[in-house]
Structure 1
Amino acid sequence: MSMAMARRAALDDVNPVIWVKVDSIVLPHDRSRREPDPVVVERIARSFTDVGLLMPIGVTPHNVLIFGTTRLAAAKKLGWERIEAREFESADDPEVRRLMEWEENDARQDLTLEEQLAFKRDVLDPILTARAKERQQANGTARASQMWGRSVEGGNFPPSTERHVVAPVVTPAILAAGPAVEVESRPASGKSRDLLNHYLGVSGRTMEKFEQLADWSEDESLPAPVREEAARARDRANTLGKVDGEYKRVRALVEQPAVPRPDPSIEVEARLTRGFSAFERLLEEHPAAEVAGVLSEGGWRGLAVVLQRTMEWGRDARRRREACERPRGS
C-alpha cells in the first residue's frame, strides 16, 4: 500500500465518509459568511449532473454542516435525498467548526472587510483571549515554581518540563493528509497577528486599522461630526478595500487638539470693553459744542435716552459689585 493510500485509510478511520440525508443537515447559527451565489450553485449543479460529487462536504457527528454550503445547495437544487459527507468528531466544538468552515476556500471567497471583522470578533478574538489567559497562567505557574519549588495549586511537585502549547490550527493540508501527518502546535507566545494573517484575507495590521475605524464610528464620546466621518470612511474602506488612507484621515480628526471654549465671563468683559471704548472715541471725535447745534430734535432725544440708560446701567452695576465685595454678615 502506498503512503498516500495509507494516509487516506487512516483519515477514513478517524473521520469517515458517510451518506447523510440532505434534509437532516443543520446549518449552524454561528456562521458569518454569505449565502451561496446562485450562479455558482447552478454551475456546481451542472457539474454534479455530469461527473457527480467529487469532494464530500464536512459535518459533525450531529450532522451540523462544517463546510460545503455551495455543494449542499447544489444537491438540494437537484433534489438529491442523500449526499456524501466526511464526519469530523472534533468539529462538535463550535470554535473548531468555525475555523474549519472558514478555512474552506468557498467559505471566505470575496468576503468584505465587514464580514471579516465579524468573523474576527466572533471567532478569532475569543481564541486570542483564551490563548493570552493560558499564557499568563503558564507564566505565573513557572514563576511560582522557580520561587517556591512547587506549583501554584499547592502540590509539592518538580517543575514541569513540558512546553506550553495551544490547540493546533486546522488547515486544508491537515484535513487532506489525515492524522498520519505530524501537527506542529503553535507556541502560546505566538503573535496575535499570525492568527489574523492566516485566517483573514488581509494582513493583521490592515484589519486592526479597519476595526479602529469601526470603533471610532461607534464611539459616543467623540463629537458627532467625527463619528459620522468615521462611518463614511468605514463604508468607503469596506467597498473599495483601501483602508490606510481612510484610517489616517480619521485619526487626524480624532487626535486633533481640542480648542478650549472661552470663559463666558471673559468674553462678556471683552465685548463691553470694546463697546464702551468705541463710544468713548465717538464722544472725543464729536465734542458737545460741535454737535449741540447740528443735532435734530429727534436725534437729540435718541442720544439722551442712550446716555440716560448708560448712566442707570453704570449705577446699577456699581451697586451690585459693591454688594459682592462686601464681607458676609456685615
Structure 2
Amino acid sequence: MTGSSWRSATPPRRSPGGSMPDKSHIELERQIDSITVGVRHRKDPGELTALMKSIEEVGLLQPVTVTPDGVLICGWRRLEALRQLGRRTLSVWVRAGISDQLSHLLAQQDENEQRKPLSPVETARLYAEIKILEKEDAQRRMAATQFGGAGRDGEASGSGDSPEPCGDSRTRAAQLATGGNSYQRLEQVNRIQAITEDETLTESVREFASNMLSEIEDGAPVSPAYKRVKAAVELASKPPPPTSDEQDEVTRLAAEALKRVQEEENAKRLRALRNKAKRAPRHHSPRSFTLMWSELEGWTELYDVDELAGALKDDEWARFERVVTETIDLRDRLRDARTAAASA
C-alpha cells in the first residue's frame, strides 16, 4: 500500500464493551501526507494543546481509522495534532467492509463536486453506517484510556485523544452524511426501515412501513410518515377485540363496579351528613334567611319544566329532591315553633 509499511497484522477481535468484532482490520504505520482527508463539515478541530501534550507524553495509543485506500474515517483531531507536532508517520487501523457510498463521501475533495444527490433512505443508511464506525472508534479510545493510564493535569492520555467537542456519534454521523447536526429524521427513516424487516410484526404492518419509505423517497416529509408507521405498530400490538361473550362479561363487570362506586359514594355522603348533624350547627342570622327567601321569591317561574326534565341528570334530580325535602321539613318545624311562640 502506497505511503504505508506493515507494523502488525491482527485478526478480527471483539471490540471493547463486548460489541461485534471489527470487520477485517489491520494495524500498520502510514505516512501522514499519504492519508486523504476529504471534505469535513467541521472545519475547526478545536483546541489541540492538551491532546498534543498527551501524545508527546504517552504516544498515540489509539490509532486513527482509514479505508484500504487511505481515506480517513475517524480520528481527524488526532491526525491534526500529529501534523502540528511535526510527525511524519502515525499508526492507523485499516478498516475494510465499508460501503462504496461511504468511501465516496469520505474521499470528496471539493464540496461543489457534481454528484447525484442521495435519496432520503440512502442518506439515512449512510448515517447509520457512519454512526457504527464512530461508536467503534469511541469504544476503542475509551478502552485505551482506561488501560493506558492518565497523563498530567488529569488529562486522559491512554487514547492519545481528548473528548470530542462536537457531540456524540449521532451528531458526528449527521455532520458527515448531511452537513448538519440534526439526526432525528435520519433516525426515524432507519426506524421505518427496521420495521419493514421485523419478522415479529405482521406482513400488513411491514408492507405499510415499506409504502411509507416509498413516499419518503418521492419527497414526502419524514415525520408524519414515521408517526403513521409508529401508530400502525402500536395498533398491531394491541390484543384482539373481545368476543360477544367476553363483551357481555365486561359490560356486567363494569355495571357492578359502577354500582359499588355509587353505593360507596352514598354511604360516604350519609356518614358526612351524620357527622354534620352531630356537630354543633353554625346558624346564619334571621336577616340572612329573610334576604335569601326574598331573592328566591318567584324563582319557580324562571324555568321551563319540559326543558328541565330532559336536561337534569339523575344525581342532579336527586339533589333537588333532597333540598326540597329539607326545605319542607324546615318549614314544618318553623311553623310549629311559631305557633308555640304565639301560644306562649
TM-score range, shorter chain: 0.3 to 0.5
If the length of structure 1 is used for normalisation, what is the TM-score?
A: 0.37
TM-score by length of 2: 0.36
